[in-house]
Amino acid sequence: GAPINAASIDALSQHFPLCMRNLHMNLRKNSHLKHFGRLQYTLFLKGIGLTLEDCLIFWRQAFKLITDDTFNKEYRYNVRHAYGDVGGDATRRGRGYSPFSCQKILTEHPPGSGESHGCPYRHFSGDNLTTLLQTTGINDRDVLKGVKEDVEKKRYHIACNRVFDFTHAAEIKKAKDEGSWSAGDNETLVHPNTYFKKSFMLAN
């Protein structure tokens, strides 16, 4: 399959769920993310298989407006900490923190102004959510309407899965035709890393 390294994150982001695409786009736009955005995104990247070394390269290159010195002083430690390379108690050492589930992202630390973490289906206004989906290439009226209804019923996962099914329709059909689609593949995605994994596998 495609390599997973610091240089391939832009290309891989087509497989990311909306929460992580939003973080990625904001990082590229502002060359910065605030604390919880960095944490949510770092743990996700760790979960897709990005090594600590590549994750540090990724962040260092992404934060274009700061010096190496500032990066090393203010940001390097937290990335290493997330990977379990430094700090933490004995149980976390060498392992670090687990990537956040949708449940955690949906319920903890709602984003404030200027923050890009969280779940867009949950934390964006209806108009902003539609605009974001359109930015990622989703212009289908039925899908946008379906998402709106899901969100109104607070069925955020369902909205996210609706978008997954729509954006992967051809690949899902192919997998079904080839018999490589199992019953478990119909399960609702409830973790950003599962979303990535399924999308990545369908394409590779």
Positions in the binding site for ligand SF4 (CB under 6 A): 17-19, 102, 105, 119-121, 156-157, 160, 192, 195
Residue with tokens 């260092």: 60
Positive or negative CA dihedral for 182, 188, 190, 192? positive
CB closer to ligand SF4, 19 vs 56: 19
60: number of Cβ within 10 Å: 17
Nearest to 45 by CA among 18, 78, 77, 82: 82
- Least separation, in Å, of the C-beta of 152 and ligand SF4? 15
- Least separation, in Å, of the C-beta of 140 and ligand SF4? 18
CB closer to ligand SF4, 22 vs 75: 22
Nearest to 162 by CA among 180, 188, 139: 188
- Least separation, in Å, of the C-beta of 100 and ligand SF4? 8
CB closer to ligand SF4, 63 vs 193: 193
Both tokens of 150, joined, read 């899901």
CB closer to ligand SF4, 96 vs 192: 192
- Least separation, in Å, of the C-beta of 124 and ligand SF4? 10
Nearest to 114 by CA among 7, 34, 195: 34
**C-beta separation of 144 from 133 below 8 A:** yes
CB closer to ligand SF4, 160 vs 202: 160
